[in-house]
Amino acid sequence: MTLSRTFQRIAPIVAALLALSCVSGARFSPGSSGVGDPLYPGLGNGGYEVSHYTVSLDVDVDRNFISGSTGIQANAKKGLSSFNLDLRGLTITAISVNGLPATYTRDGNELTIVPSRPVPARASFQVDVAYEGQPSPDHVPSFGFPVGWIKYRTGIYAAGEPWGSSTWYPVNEHPSDKASYTLVLTVPEPYEVAGIGELTGVIDNGDSTTYTWEARDELASYLVGVAISRFDEIVVEGPQGVPILNMIQETIEEPVERHLENTSKMVGFFNDTFGPYPFESFGSIILDAPFAALETQTRPIYGFDILRLAGERVVAHELAHQWFGNLVTPATWEDMWLNEGFATYAEWLWLDYKSPNDEFAAFWENTWRPDYGPPGKPSPEAPFGQTVYQRGAMTLHALRTDIGDDAFFRTLREYVLRHAGGNVSTSDFVAVAEEVSGKNLDGLFRAWLYDDVTPSAPE
Protein backbone atom coordinates (compact mmCIF):
# COMPACT_ATOMS: atom_id res chain seq x y z
CA MET A 1 0.00 0.00 0.00
CA THR A 2 2.65 2.44 1.06
CA LEU A 3 4.86 1.20 -1.73
CA SER A 4 2.30 1.63 -4.39
CA ARG A 5 1.43 5.17 -3.23
CA THR A 6 5.11 6.08 -3.21
CA PHE A 7 5.48 4.63 -6.68
CA GLN A 8 2.53 6.70 -7.91
CA ARG A 9 4.20 9.81 -6.59
CA ILE A 10 7.60 9.11 -8.16
CA ALA A 11 6.40 7.51 -11.40
CA PRO A 12 6.39 10.77 -13.40
CA ILE A 13 9.90 11.58 -12.16
CA VAL A 14 11.16 8.12 -13.12
CA ALA A 15 9.57 8.45 -16.57
CA ALA A 16 11.17 11.85 -17.06
CA LEU A 17 14.58 10.55 -16.00
CA LEU A 18 14.28 7.56 -18.33
CA ALA A 19 13.35 9.80 -21.25
CA LEU A 20 16.26 12.09 -20.49
CA SER A 21 18.74 9.20 -20.32
CA CYS A 22 17.54 7.96 -23.72
CA VAL A 23 18.38 11.32 -25.23
CA SER A 24 21.56 12.22 -23.42
CA GLY A 25 22.88 9.17 -21.63
CA ALA A 26 22.04 5.76 -22.92
CA ARG A 27 21.93 6.24 -26.67
CA PHE A 28 24.48 9.03 -27.15
CA SER A 29 27.39 10.06 -25.01
CA PRO A 30 30.77 11.74 -25.57
CA GLY A 31 33.66 9.65 -26.86
CA SER A 32 36.58 9.63 -24.42
CA SER A 33 39.57 11.94 -24.85
CA GLY A 34 42.16 9.16 -24.46
CA VAL A 35 42.42 5.41 -24.93
CA GLY A 36 44.07 4.83 -21.55
CA ASP A 37 47.50 3.83 -22.85
CA PRO A 38 49.56 2.70 -19.82
CA LEU A 39 52.43 5.06 -20.71
CA TYR A 40 50.46 7.95 -22.22
CA PRO A 41 46.78 7.73 -21.15
CA GLY A 42 45.75 10.89 -23.00
CA LEU A 43 46.82 9.73 -26.48
CA GLY A 44 44.15 8.70 -28.97
CA ASN A 45 40.41 8.88 -28.40
CA GLY A 46 37.59 6.49 -27.65
CA GLY A 47 34.16 5.75 -29.11
CA TYR A 48 35.09 5.26 -32.76
CA GLU A 49 37.64 3.75 -35.13
CA VAL A 50 38.99 5.39 -38.26
CA SER A 51 39.02 3.43 -41.51
CA HIS A 52 40.56 6.02 -43.86
CA TYR A 53 42.22 9.44 -43.83
CA THR A 54 42.46 11.73 -46.85
CA VAL A 55 44.94 14.50 -46.07
CA SER A 56 44.89 17.23 -48.76
CA LEU A 57 47.28 20.10 -48.20
CA ASP A 58 48.81 23.00 -50.09
CA VAL A 59 52.32 23.50 -48.77
CA ASP A 60 54.14 26.81 -48.96
CA VAL A 61 57.58 25.30 -48.43
CA ASP A 62 59.53 28.52 -47.92
CA ARG A 63 57.10 29.84 -45.29
CA ASN A 64 56.49 26.33 -43.93
CA PHE A 65 52.75 27.05 -44.08
CA ILE A 66 50.08 24.43 -44.78
CA SER A 67 46.42 24.90 -45.70
CA GLY A 68 43.80 22.39 -46.71
CA SER A 69 41.67 19.70 -45.17
CA THR A 70 41.63 16.22 -43.76
CA GLY A 71 38.69 13.91 -44.42
CA ILE A 72 38.19 11.07 -41.96
CA GLN A 73 35.97 8.04 -42.50
CA ALA A 74 35.20 6.44 -39.17
CA ASN A 75 32.90 3.91 -37.52
CA ALA A 76 31.13 4.66 -34.25
CA LYS A 77 31.61 2.02 -31.57
CA LYS A 78 28.73 3.59 -29.56
CA GLY A 79 26.24 6.43 -29.99
CA LEU A 80 28.30 9.63 -30.02
CA SER A 81 27.00 13.02 -28.86
CA SER A 82 30.57 14.30 -29.37
CA PHE A 83 33.99 12.84 -30.08
CA ASN A 84 37.62 13.93 -30.01
CA LEU A 85 40.50 14.10 -32.45
CA ASP A 86 44.12 14.97 -31.67
CA LEU A 87 45.55 18.11 -33.28
CA ARG A 88 48.56 20.15 -32.18
CA GLY A 89 48.49 23.83 -33.03
CA LEU A 90 47.16 25.06 -36.43
CA THR A 91 43.98 27.08 -37.00
CA ILE A 92 40.71 25.35 -37.83
CA THR A 93 38.55 27.12 -40.40
CA ALA A 94 35.58 24.70 -40.66
CA ILE A 95 34.42 21.28 -39.50
CA SER A 96 31.59 19.18 -40.83
CA VAL A 97 30.25 15.77 -39.86
CA ASN A 98 28.36 13.88 -42.56
CA GLY A 99 28.30 17.08 -44.60
CA LEU A 100 26.63 19.20 -41.87
CA PRO A 101 28.51 21.98 -40.06
CA ALA A 102 29.65 20.92 -36.59
CA THR A 103 30.70 22.94 -33.57
CA TYR A 104 33.97 22.28 -31.80
CA THR A 105 36.15 23.27 -28.88
CA ARG A 106 39.90 22.94 -28.39
CA ASP A 107 41.82 22.26 -25.20
CA GLY A 108 45.52 21.69 -25.71
CA ASN A 109 45.87 18.84 -28.21
CA GLU A 110 42.27 17.72 -27.82
CA LEU A 111 39.79 18.78 -30.48
CA THR A 112 36.22 18.02 -29.36
CA ILE A 113 33.67 17.93 -32.16
CA VAL A 114 29.92 18.16 -31.55
CA PRO A 115 28.04 17.01 -34.66
CA SER A 116 24.74 18.75 -35.37
CA ARG A 117 23.15 15.28 -35.35
CA PRO A 118 24.55 12.69 -32.93
CA VAL A 119 26.22 9.68 -34.57
CA PRO A 120 24.34 6.42 -33.91
CA ALA A 121 26.20 3.37 -32.62
CA ARG A 122 27.81 1.26 -35.37
CA ALA A 123 27.19 3.98 -38.00
CA SER A 124 29.97 4.95 -40.34
CA PHE A 125 30.48 8.69 -40.52
CA GLN A 126 32.57 11.26 -42.35
CA VAL A 127 34.40 14.13 -40.67
CA ASP A 128 35.98 16.96 -42.67
CA VAL A 129 38.32 19.38 -40.96
CA ALA A 130 39.61 22.43 -42.86
CA TYR A 131 42.65 24.13 -41.32
CA GLU A 132 45.82 26.08 -41.90
CA GLY A 133 48.94 27.29 -40.16
CA GLN A 134 52.59 26.74 -39.51
CA PRO A 135 53.11 23.31 -37.91
CA SER A 136 55.23 23.17 -34.76
CA PRO A 137 57.14 19.98 -34.06
CA ASP A 138 56.88 18.44 -30.61
CA HIS A 139 59.44 16.85 -28.29
CA VAL A 140 59.39 13.40 -26.75
CA PRO A 141 61.40 12.29 -23.72
CA SER A 142 64.54 10.32 -24.71
CA PHE A 143 64.13 11.14 -28.42
CA GLY A 144 67.13 12.83 -29.96
CA PHE A 145 65.04 14.67 -32.57
CA PRO A 146 61.83 16.68 -32.60
CA VAL A 147 58.79 14.76 -33.86
CA GLY A 148 56.15 15.70 -36.39
CA TRP A 149 56.26 18.06 -39.36
CA ILE A 150 59.79 19.44 -39.54
CA LYS A 151 61.23 22.15 -41.77
CA TYR A 152 64.96 21.82 -42.37
CA ARG A 153 67.45 23.67 -44.52
CA THR A 154 66.62 22.00 -47.84
CA GLY A 155 63.11 20.69 -47.34
CA ILE A 156 60.41 19.40 -45.04
CA TYR A 157 59.72 15.96 -43.65
CA ALA A 158 57.08 14.49 -41.39
CA ALA A 159 57.72 11.45 -39.23
CA GLY A 160 55.11 10.53 -36.67
CA GLU A 161 56.52 8.38 -33.90
CA PRO A 162 55.04 8.49 -31.33
CA TRP A 163 52.71 11.50 -31.56
CA GLY A 164 54.00 13.71 -34.37
CA SER A 165 51.25 13.14 -36.93
CA SER A 166 48.90 15.43 -35.01
CA THR A 167 51.27 18.31 -35.83
CA TRP A 168 49.97 18.29 -39.43
CA TYR A 169 46.58 16.58 -39.53
CA PRO A 170 43.74 15.79 -37.10
CA VAL A 171 44.03 12.15 -36.11
CA ASN A 172 43.05 9.46 -33.64
CA GLU A 173 46.66 9.31 -32.59
CA HIS A 174 47.24 5.90 -31.07
CA PRO A 175 48.71 2.73 -32.62
CA SER A 176 45.58 0.76 -31.67
CA ASP A 177 43.56 2.56 -34.38
CA LYS A 178 45.04 1.64 -37.78
CA ALA A 179 43.67 3.08 -41.03
CA SER A 180 44.50 3.45 -44.71
CA TYR A 181 45.60 6.81 -46.13
CA THR A 182 45.45 9.05 -49.15
CA LEU A 183 48.01 11.87 -48.98
CA VAL A 184 47.50 14.68 -51.51
CA LEU A 185 50.19 17.34 -51.26
CA THR A 186 50.55 20.33 -53.54
CA VAL A 187 54.01 21.89 -53.54
CA PRO A 188 55.50 24.79 -55.49
CA GLU A 189 58.02 24.21 -58.27
CA PRO A 190 60.69 22.85 -58.09
CA TYR A 191 59.80 20.70 -55.07
CA GLU A 192 58.75 17.04 -55.18
CA VAL A 193 56.94 14.90 -52.62
CA ALA A 194 58.14 11.50 -51.44
CA GLY A 195 55.63 9.40 -49.53
CA ILE A 196 54.49 6.01 -48.35
CA GLY A 197 52.57 3.42 -50.36
CA GLU A 198 52.10 4.01 -54.08
CA LEU A 199 52.40 7.21 -56.07
CA THR A 200 49.03 7.26 -57.87
CA GLY A 201 48.96 10.79 -59.26
CA VAL A 202 51.19 13.66 -60.32
CA ILE A 203 49.37 16.73 -61.62
CA ASP A 204 51.28 19.65 -63.07
CA ASN A 205 49.41 22.85 -62.12
CA GLY A 206 51.91 25.18 -63.82
CA ASP A 207 53.79 26.70 -60.93
CA SER A 208 52.98 23.87 -58.53
CA THR A 209 52.60 20.08 -58.60
CA THR A 210 50.09 17.87 -56.80
CA TYR A 211 51.32 14.45 -55.67
CA THR A 212 48.96 11.70 -54.49
CA TRP A 213 50.37 8.85 -52.41
CA GLU A 214 48.05 5.98 -51.47
CA ALA A 215 48.77 3.70 -48.54
CA ARG A 216 46.12 1.03 -49.01
CA ASP A 217 47.25 -1.33 -46.26
CA GLU A 218 46.18 -0.07 -42.84
CA LEU A 219 48.84 1.55 -40.70
CA ALA A 220 49.25 3.22 -37.33
CA SER A 221 49.46 7.02 -37.47
CA TYR A 222 53.06 7.02 -36.22
CA LEU A 223 54.05 5.20 -39.44
CA VAL A 224 52.80 7.92 -41.80
CA GLY A 225 55.66 9.75 -43.49
CA VAL A 226 56.20 12.31 -46.23
CA ALA A 227 59.13 14.39 -47.37
CA ILE A 228 59.30 17.47 -49.57
CA SER A 229 62.50 18.28 -51.39
CA ARG A 230 64.02 17.13 -54.69
CA PHE A 231 64.86 13.47 -55.17
CA ASP A 232 66.80 11.06 -57.35
CA GLU A 233 64.88 7.83 -57.73
CA ILE A 234 66.26 4.32 -57.95
CA VAL A 235 63.82 1.49 -58.66
CA VAL A 236 64.86 -2.12 -58.14
CA GLU A 237 62.75 -5.22 -58.52
CA GLY A 238 62.74 -7.15 -55.26
CA PRO A 239 61.89 -10.80 -54.59
CA GLN A 240 58.38 -11.99 -55.54
CA GLY A 241 57.95 -8.89 -57.69
CA VAL A 242 57.96 -6.46 -54.75
CA PRO A 243 59.11 -3.14 -56.23
CA ILE A 244 61.76 -1.30 -54.23
CA LEU A 245 61.66 2.47 -54.72
CA ASN A 246 64.50 4.47 -53.18
CA MET A 247 64.09 8.26 -53.15
CA ILE A 248 67.36 10.02 -52.38
CA GLN A 249 67.56 13.73 -51.79
CA GLU A 250 69.48 15.36 -54.63
CA THR A 251 71.74 17.45 -52.40
CA ILE A 252 73.42 14.35 -50.92
CA GLU A 253 76.75 14.22 -52.67
CA GLU A 254 78.25 11.05 -51.24
CA PRO A 255 77.25 7.78 -52.88
CA VAL A 256 74.27 6.21 -51.14
CA GLU A 257 73.85 3.11 -53.27
CA ARG A 258 76.36 0.95 -51.40
CA HIS A 259 74.16 1.11 -48.28
CA LEU A 260 71.17 -0.02 -50.30
CA GLU A 261 72.67 -2.62 -52.64
CA ASN A 262 71.65 -5.59 -50.47
CA THR A 263 68.07 -4.43 -49.86
CA SER A 264 66.59 -6.93 -52.29
CA LYS A 265 68.57 -9.79 -50.72
CA MET A 266 67.42 -8.67 -47.29
CA VAL A 267 63.78 -8.73 -48.36
CA GLY A 268 64.39 -12.27 -49.61
CA PHE A 269 66.09 -13.36 -46.38
CA PHE A 270 63.35 -11.90 -44.17
CA ASN A 271 60.67 -13.39 -46.45
CA ASP A 272 62.14 -16.79 -45.68
CA THR A 273 62.58 -16.03 -41.99
CA PHE A 274 59.39 -14.14 -41.00
CA GLY A 275 56.92 -14.93 -43.82
CA PRO A 276 56.15 -13.09 -47.08
CA TYR A 277 56.89 -9.36 -47.23
CA PRO A 278 53.52 -7.90 -46.20
CA PHE A 279 53.01 -4.78 -48.34
CA GLU A 280 52.76 -3.68 -51.97
CA SER A 281 56.21 -2.15 -52.14
CA PHE A 282 59.30 -1.24 -50.18
CA GLY A 283 62.10 1.29 -50.45
CA SER A 284 63.54 4.26 -48.63
CA ILE A 285 63.46 8.04 -48.40
CA ILE A 286 66.93 9.35 -47.69
CA LEU A 287 67.23 12.94 -46.56
CA ASP A 288 69.97 15.48 -46.21
CA ALA A 289 68.44 16.31 -42.83
CA PRO A 290 69.42 15.94 -39.18
CA PHE A 291 67.31 12.86 -38.50
CA ALA A 292 67.92 9.25 -37.48
CA ALA A 293 65.53 6.74 -39.08
CA LEU A 294 61.90 5.70 -38.83
CA GLU A 295 60.19 2.64 -40.27
CA THR A 296 57.43 4.61 -42.03
CA GLN A 297 55.25 2.01 -43.69
CA THR A 298 56.67 0.64 -46.96
CA ARG A 299 59.26 3.41 -47.22
CA PRO A 300 61.40 4.15 -44.13
CA ILE A 301 62.82 7.65 -43.79
CA TYR A 302 66.54 8.07 -42.99
CA GLY A 303 68.74 11.02 -42.27
CA PHE A 304 71.83 10.37 -44.42
CA ASP A 305 74.13 10.54 -41.38
CA ILE A 306 72.63 7.40 -39.85
CA LEU A 307 73.16 5.48 -43.10
CA ARG A 308 76.74 6.67 -43.24
CA LEU A 309 77.31 5.55 -39.65
CA ALA A 310 75.27 2.36 -39.41
CA GLY A 311 75.25 1.28 -43.08
CA GLU A 312 72.96 -1.51 -44.16
CA ARG A 313 72.40 -2.60 -40.59
CA VAL A 314 69.89 0.23 -40.14
CA VAL A 315 68.25 -0.78 -43.44
CA ALA A 316 67.80 -4.31 -42.06
CA HIS A 317 66.35 -2.82 -38.87
CA GLU A 318 63.75 -0.68 -40.63
CA LEU A 319 62.89 -3.47 -43.08
CA ALA A 320 62.27 -5.92 -40.21
CA HIS A 321 59.86 -3.39 -38.68
CA GLN A 322 57.59 -3.85 -41.71
CA TRP A 323 56.66 -7.20 -40.09
CA PHE A 324 57.30 -6.28 -36.45
CA GLY A 325 55.56 -3.04 -35.65
CA ASN A 326 53.92 -2.21 -38.97
CA LEU A 327 52.03 -5.40 -39.92
CA VAL A 328 51.82 -6.59 -36.30
CA THR A 329 51.47 -3.45 -34.19
CA PRO A 330 51.73 -3.06 -30.41
CA ALA A 331 48.37 -2.29 -28.80
CA THR A 332 50.05 0.18 -26.44
CA TRP A 333 53.34 2.07 -26.17
CA GLU A 334 54.30 -0.09 -23.20
CA ASP A 335 54.89 -3.01 -25.57
CA MET A 336 57.53 -1.23 -27.65
CA TRP A 337 59.98 -4.09 -27.17
CA LEU A 338 57.74 -6.03 -29.59
CA ASN A 339 58.91 -3.47 -32.18
CA GLU A 340 62.43 -2.54 -31.24
CA GLY A 341 63.63 -5.80 -29.72
CA PHE A 342 62.58 -7.68 -32.85
CA ALA A 343 64.03 -5.14 -35.29
CA THR A 344 67.31 -5.06 -33.37
CA TYR A 345 67.49 -8.85 -33.31
CA ALA A 346 66.79 -8.86 -37.06
CA GLU A 347 69.96 -6.78 -37.58
CA TRP A 348 71.93 -9.60 -35.96
CA LEU A 349 70.10 -12.24 -37.95
CA TRP A 350 71.01 -10.40 -41.16
CA LEU A 351 74.66 -9.91 -40.22
CA ASP A 352 74.94 -13.55 -39.19
CA TYR A 353 73.31 -14.68 -42.43
CA LYS A 354 75.55 -12.52 -44.55
CA SER A 355 78.81 -13.62 -42.96
CA PRO A 356 78.35 -16.33 -40.35
CA ASN A 357 81.06 -15.50 -37.87
CA ASP A 358 79.65 -16.00 -34.42
CA GLU A 359 77.86 -12.65 -34.54
CA PHE A 360 75.74 -13.59 -31.56
CA ALA A 361 78.71 -13.99 -29.22
CA ALA A 362 79.91 -10.53 -30.25
CA PHE A 363 76.40 -9.23 -29.78
CA TRP A 364 76.36 -10.36 -26.15
CA GLU A 365 79.85 -9.19 -25.44
CA ASN A 366 79.24 -5.74 -26.84
CA THR A 367 75.76 -5.08 -25.57
CA TRP A 368 75.11 -6.93 -22.28
CA ARG A 369 74.76 -4.60 -19.32
CA PRO A 370 73.18 -5.30 -15.94
CA ASP A 371 71.30 -2.01 -15.72
CA TYR A 372 69.14 -1.64 -18.83
CA GLY A 373 65.97 -1.88 -16.75
CA PRO A 374 62.99 -4.03 -17.69
CA PRO A 375 62.04 -3.80 -21.41
CA GLY A 376 58.50 -5.01 -20.67
CA LYS A 377 57.94 -1.94 -18.51
CA PRO A 378 59.69 1.07 -20.06
CA SER A 379 59.25 4.35 -18.22
CA PRO A 380 57.24 7.23 -19.74
CA GLU A 381 60.44 9.32 -19.36
CA ALA A 382 62.43 6.96 -21.60
CA PRO A 383 59.93 5.05 -23.73
CA PHE A 384 62.54 4.43 -26.43
CA GLY A 385 65.47 3.77 -24.14
CA GLN A 386 68.12 1.19 -24.97
CA THR A 387 66.37 -1.50 -22.97
CA VAL A 388 63.55 -2.03 -25.49
CA TYR A 389 66.18 -2.36 -28.24
CA GLN A 390 69.08 -4.24 -26.67
CA ARG A 391 67.55 -6.19 -23.82
CA GLY A 392 64.48 -6.73 -26.04
CA ALA A 393 66.73 -8.40 -28.63
CA MET A 394 68.50 -10.38 -25.91
CA THR A 395 65.11 -11.64 -24.73
CA LEU A 396 64.55 -13.14 -28.18
CA HIS A 397 67.98 -14.75 -28.24
CA ALA A 398 67.38 -16.18 -24.75
CA LEU A 399 64.10 -17.62 -26.04
CA ARG A 400 65.84 -19.07 -29.10
CA THR A 401 68.52 -20.66 -26.93
CA ASP A 402 65.84 -22.17 -24.67
CA ILE A 403 63.40 -23.58 -27.26
CA GLY A 404 65.82 -24.22 -30.14
CA ASP A 405 66.09 -22.78 -33.65
CA ASP A 406 63.23 -24.75 -35.15
CA ALA A 407 60.61 -23.76 -32.54
CA PHE A 408 61.97 -20.18 -32.38
CA PHE A 409 61.62 -19.45 -36.10
CA ARG A 410 58.27 -21.25 -36.28
CA THR A 411 57.16 -19.00 -33.38
CA LEU A 412 58.15 -15.85 -35.28
CA ARG A 413 56.28 -16.95 -38.43
CA GLU A 414 53.18 -18.09 -36.53
CA TYR A 415 53.06 -14.85 -34.51
CA VAL A 416 53.20 -12.78 -37.72
CA LEU A 417 50.61 -14.94 -39.49
CA ARG A 418 48.17 -14.98 -36.59
CA HIS A 419 48.29 -11.25 -35.85
CA ALA A 420 48.83 -9.81 -39.35
CA GLY A 421 47.10 -6.45 -39.67
CA GLY A 422 46.21 -6.37 -35.98
CA ASN A 423 47.44 -5.15 -32.60
CA VAL A 424 49.30 -7.24 -30.07
CA SER A 425 50.48 -7.34 -26.48
CA THR A 426 53.39 -9.21 -24.96
CA SER A 427 51.00 -11.96 -23.83
CA ASP A 428 50.10 -12.67 -27.48
CA PHE A 429 53.74 -13.37 -28.33
CA VAL A 430 54.28 -15.47 -25.19
CA ALA A 431 51.16 -17.51 -26.02
CA VAL A 432 52.46 -18.36 -29.51
CA ALA A 433 55.94 -19.23 -28.19
CA GLU A 434 54.46 -21.56 -25.54
CA GLU A 435 52.09 -23.17 -28.01
CA VAL A 436 54.75 -23.79 -30.65
CA SER A 437 57.43 -24.97 -28.22
CA GLY A 438 55.10 -26.87 -25.89
CA LYS A 439 56.96 -25.31 -22.94
CA ASN A 440 55.93 -23.10 -20.06
CA LEU A 441 57.99 -19.95 -20.63
CA ASP A 442 56.67 -17.84 -17.75
CA GLY A 443 59.96 -17.79 -15.88
CA LEU A 444 62.03 -16.91 -18.93
CA PHE A 445 59.84 -13.99 -20.01
CA ARG A 446 59.37 -12.75 -16.45
CA ALA A 447 63.14 -12.59 -15.88
CA TRP A 448 64.01 -11.08 -19.26
CA LEU A 449 61.15 -8.60 -19.58
CA TYR A 450 60.38 -7.55 -16.01
CA ASP A 451 63.32 -8.12 -13.64
CA ASP A 452 65.25 -4.98 -12.77
CA VAL A 453 68.64 -6.59 -13.42
CA THR A 454 69.45 -8.05 -16.84
CA PRO A 455 69.74 -11.85 -16.61
CA SER A 456 73.10 -13.29 -17.65
CA ALA A 457 73.72 -14.65 -21.14
CA PRO A 458 72.05 -18.00 -21.79
CA GLU A 459 74.41 -20.96 -22.05
* Residue span binding Zn ion (CB under 5 A) among the ranges 47-55, 88-96, 244-252, 339-347: 339-347
* Residue span binding Zn ion (CB under 5 A) among the ranges 110-118, 155-163, 237-245, 334-342: 334-342
* Residue span binding Zn ion (CB under 5 A) among the ranges 11-19, 305-313, 333-341, 426-434: 333-341
Between residues 53 and 323, which has the closer beta carbon with respect to Zn ion? 323
* Residue span binding Zn ion (CB under 5 A) among the ranges 141-149, 327-335, 338-346, 437-445: 338-346
Do 275 and 247 meet the contact criterion of CB atoms below 8 Å apart? no
Between residues 65 and 143, which has the closer beta carbon with respect to Zn ion? 143
Q: Which residue is nearest to Zn ion (CB)?
A: 343
Between residues 320 and 432, which has the closer beta carbon with respect to Zn ion? 320
Instruction: Give me the 73-112 binding string for Zn ion, x by CB under 5 A, dash otherwise.
Output: ----------------------------------------
Between residues 141 and 201, which has the closer beta carbon with respect to Zn ion? 141
Q: Distance (Å, rounded) from C-alpha 309 to C-alpha 229?
A: 23
CB of 343 to Zn ion, least distance (A): 4
CB of 337 to Zn ion, least distance (A): 11
Q: Distance (Å, rounded) from C-alpha 144 to C-alpha 130?
A: 32
Q: Distance (Å, rounded) from C-alpha 232 to C-alpha 354?
A: 28
194 binds Zn ion (CB under 5 A): no
CB of 384 to Zn ion, least distance (A): 8
343 binds Zn ion (CB under 5 A): yes
Between residues 192 and 340, which has the closer beta carbon with respect to Zn ion? 340
Between residues 169 and 291, which has the closer beta carbon with respect to Zn ion? 291
CB of 254 to Zn ion, least distance (A): 24
Q: Distance (Å, rounded) from C-alpha 274 to C-alpha 323?
A: 8
CB of 225 to Zn ion, least distance (A): 14
* Residue span binding Zn ion (CB under 5 A) among the ranges 42-50, 132-140, 156-164, 337-345: 337-345
CB atoms within 10 A of CB 404: 12
Instruction: Give me the 221-240 binding string for Zn ion, x by CB under 5 A, dash otherwise.
Output: --------------------
Between residues 319 and 343, which has the closer beta carbon with respect to Zn ion? 343
328 binds Zn ion (CB under 5 A): no
CB of 321 to Zn ion, least distance (A): 6
CB of 96 to Zn ion, least distance (A): 38
CB of 453 to Zn ion, least distance (A): 24
* Residue span binding Zn ion (CB under 5 A) among the ranges 53-61, 75-83, 341-349, 398-406: 341-349
* Residue span binding Zn ion (CB under 5 A) among the ranges 81-89, 161-169, 247-255, 332-340: 332-340
Interface ranges with Zn ion (CB under 5 A):
340, 343
